[in-house]
Structure 1
C-alpha cells in the first residue's frame, strides 16, 4: 500500500475513534442525570417504592464503578476495539430494555446491564484515545474528551428535565440508546488494537476485585438507612476487607494477574487518580444537594436554581483546553492548583448563611467549578499516558474506578452528614448550618489533597529521574 494512502487511512481512523469515544462519553452522563430526574415518574407509573426506585440510579452507578477496572484488564487481553464494541452493545441493550420495562425489578436489572456496558466502553474508550494519538495530539484529544464530559455534566440535567416534562421518563433512556446506536455504527471503522497474546484472563482476581467494590459501595449507600453501627454495615465492611485482601493474595500468586499491583505504586498515576476522585467527590454532592439549599433556604425558583448551578458546571465545558495548556507547562501546577482553587471555593460556601443572597454564591460556585473544569478529561490523558502502553486499558479502568467510587461514596457520606446535622430535614435554616459544616470538611479535604499530591508527584518525578 502506498505510504501516503496508509497515512490518510490512519488519520481518518483516529478521527473516527475520537468521534466514537466522544459520542459515547456524551451518552453516559445523560443516562445518569436523566435517571435521577425520572424517579418520580418511575415511582408513579411502575408503582415502585422509593428504595426500589432509587436503585435505578444506585444500581447503574454501582455496576459502572465496580466493573471498570476488570473491563480495562479484559480490553488489554481481548483487544480494545472488541471490548469497546461489546460495551456499547450492552449499554444499548440495557437502555432499550429500560425504555420497554414495565416492572421496577426489570428496570433495575436493565440499568445494571447498562452499567456493565458503560464500564466496558469508558475503560476502553480512554485507552483507545491514548493508543490512537501521540504527543500534543493526544493532549488535544483528551481536552476534547473533557469538553464533551463537561457538556454532558453542565447541560445533562436541563436536557433530561425537558425530556421528562415533554415526553415522559422513558425518553431519558431512549436518547442515550440513540447515541449509543450511532457509536455502534462507527465501531467497525475504529483502529485495530489487538490484545496481548499468550496471557490468560484472571477470572478469580476479577471476581474478587469487583465483588469487594460492589460490597463497599452498597454498604455506603445503605448505611444511612441501617445506621453506621448496624450489623449489616459492619458485616459489609468486613466482607469488603476480606474480599480485597483475598484479591491481593491471589494477584501475588497467579502468573497472569488482573493487573500489576505495581501500578498502584506508580506515584504519578496514584496522584492523578486521587485528584480526579477528590474533584468528583466535591462536585457531585454539591450538584445533588445545592438545589434544595437554593430553593428552600435562599428562596430561588427551581429554574433559577438550575441557572445558578451552571456556575459549577459550565467551567467544565470551556476550561479543559486551558487545563491542557497548563499541563504542558507543569502537571503539578495543574492538578494541585486546581484542587486548591476548588477547595477555596467550597470553603467560601461555609460563609453563606440563611440570610445570604444568590449573588453571594457567585464566587464560591465559580471557583469550585473552575478547579473542576481545568482538570476535566485532561488528567485522564495524563494518568493513562504515564503507564506502559500494554496496561492502558487496565489503567483507564482503574483510574475511572477510583473516580466513580469516590463520587459514589462521597455522595452517600455527604447525604448522611447533611441529614444528621440538619435533624433529618434537608430544608430550612437547619440545612444552612449543615451545608456550612459539610463545605468546611470538603474544602479542607481538597486543600489537603492539593498539598499531598504536589509532594507525591514531585517524588514520582525524582524517582523516574533517578531510575
Structure 2
C-alpha cells in the first residue's frame, strides 16, 4: 500500500467511527436511562458531554497537529477514543459513563482535526477534492448505518453493544497508524494554551447553563453565575486571541469570506441534523410506538442520502459551490419544518418527506464543505484551519443539541412521551426550520 492510500485508509476508517458513536448513543438513550436509573437531565449529558468535549478540544487538536506533527496527534486521538469507548461499554454507573464519553469526545476531536490535516497535506488539487469527497461518503455510511445497526444491537444485545463497532474500527486504525509516514512539525510553532482554556471554559459553561436551566430555573443563582462567567470567558478569549503572537483561533480567518461562509453552512446543517438524530429515536419509540429495530429502519430515510450524495455534491462543488451550500441549508430547513405535520398516528410515509429533504441537504455537503473550507486557506495553516472549521461546526451543533434538549424538557415538563412530547417537538422543529432559512440567506450573502 503506497503512502497516499495508507493515509486515506486510516483517516476514512477513523471518520466512520465518529457518526456510529453519535447515533449509537442516541438509539441507546431510552434503554440506558431505564437500566441506569438516570433522569432526563443526567442522561442528556451522555450525548452533550461527548459533543462538548469534541467541540472544545478541536481547536487544541488542530494546533497540536501543526505543532507536534499530524501522525502523532492522529494516533493519540484514536487511542484515547478507543479507551473512552471501551469504558462506555463496561460502565455500570451513569457518572462513569459520562466521564467515558468525555474521554471519547476528546479523542475523536484529535483524530478528526489531525485526520483532516493529514488529508490536506497528502493530497492537493482535484485529488484533495476527491479525498474529502470520499471522507464525506464514509461519514454518510456511518450516519446511514448507525441507527439501523445500533437499533438492532440494542434489541438483541442491550445498549452497551452500540459502543463495540466504534472500538473495533478504531483498533484497526491504530494498527495502520504504525505504518503512517512521519510528519515534521514546523519549528517555533507554539500552542495557545490561554486562548484554548478560555474557549473551553466558556463553551462548557454555556452548555451547563442550557442543560440545567430547565430543572433549576433561569433565576437560580448557579445559572446566573454560570451565564455571567461564560460571558466573561468569551470576552477573555477574544482579547487573548487578538494579542497572542500565535493564536489558536486565528481571527484573521474571519476576513476570509469563503472560509466563514462554509463554516456557517456546516454549522447550520449539523445544528439541524444532530439534535434530531438524538431525540427522534426517543420520539419514535415513546410516542409513535416503534421498537429500536423499527426506529433505526425508519431513520434510514434520513441517513441514506448521506451515502451516495457526497460524490454528487463534490461534482456540483467544482462548478457551483455557492449554489450547493446555500441550497443544501435551505432544503434541510424545509425538511425539519415538515416534521411539524407529523404526530402520534403518523406512519412512515408521513415522516419520509421530512427525512428525505433533511437527509439530502446534509448528504450533498457531507465532507465536501470541509474540503471547500480547508482549500480556502494556505496549506501551511491547514491543521489550524481544519480545527477552527470543525470547532465552529461542532460548537454550533453542541449548542443546538443542548438548546433543543432544554426546550424539549421545558415544553414537555421533563417527560419525553405522549402529547406533551409531540407539542414540544413541533415547536422545536418550527424554530429550527426558520433558523435554517435565515442561515441560508446569510451564507448566500457571505459567498456572493
Which of residues 324, 329, 332 in structure 2 aligns to 1:334? 324
1:278 aligns with 2:290: no
Which of residues 414, 424, 428 in structure 2 aligns to 1:434? 424
The normalised TM-score by structure 1 is 0.88
1:230 aligns with 2:220: yes
Please provide the CA RMSD for this pair.
Answer: 2.5
In structure 2, C-alpha distance between the alignment counterparts of 1:306 and 1:171, rounded to whole Å: 15
Q: 1:54-73, aligned counterparts within 5 Å? A: 54-73=44-63
Aligned counterpart, 2:259: 269
Q: Is the 8 A contact 2:195 2:248 kept in 1?
A: yes
Aligned counterpart, 2:81: 91
Q: Displacement, 1:295?
A: 5.0
1:259 aligns with 2:249: yes
In terms of mean alpha carbon deviation, does 113-122 or 348-357 score higher? 348-357
Measured at CA, do residues 41 and 307 of structure 1 come closer, stay the same or move farther in structure 2, by a change above 3 Å? closer
Aligned counterpart, 1:395: 385
Aligned counterpart, 2:138: 148
Measured at CA, do residues 230 and 266 of structure 1 come closer, stay the same or move farther in structure 2, by a change above 3 Å? farther
In structure 2, C-alpha distance between the alignment counterparts of 1:391 and 1:52, rounded to whole Å: 39
Which of residues 248, 252, 263 in structure 1 aligns to 2:238? 248
Q: Is the 8 A contact 2:77 2:109 kept in 1?
A: yes
* Residue deviations 1:317-366 (CA, integer Å, cap 9, x gap): 11100111110111100100111111222233334456654323322221
Structure 1: runs of 5+ lacking an equivalent: 1-8, 459-467
Aligned residues: 448
In structure 2, C-alpha distance between the alignment counterparts of 1:288 and 1:81, rounded to whole Å: 32
1:189 aligns with 2:179: yes
Measured at CA, do residues 184 and 376 of structure 1 come closer, stay the same or move farther in structure 2, by a change above 3 Å? same
In structure 1, C-alpha distance between the alignment counterparts of 2:93 and 2:289, rounded to whole Å: 37
Q: Counterpart of 2:416 in 1: which secondary structure? A: coil
In structure 2, C-alpha distance between the alignment counterparts of 1:370 and 1:349, rounded to whole Å: 15
Q: 1:447-462, aligned counterparts within 5 Å? A: 447-458=437-448
In structure 1, C-alpha distance between the alignment counterparts of 2:36 and 2:425, rounded to whole Å: 34
Aligned counterpart, 2:100: 110
Q: Is the 8 A contact 1:217 1:405 kept in 2?
A: no
* Residue deviations 1:36-57 (CA, integer Å, cap 9, x gap): 4445665676676665554333
Aligned counterpart, 2:402: 412
Q: Displacement, 1:95?
A: 2.5
Measured at CA, do residues 237 and 391 of structure 1 come closer, stay the same or move farther in structure 2, by a change above 3 Å? farther
Higher alpha-carbon Rg: 1
Aligned counterpart, 2:308: 318
In structure 2, C-alpha distance between the alignment counterparts of 1:442 and 1:379, rounded to whole Å: 21
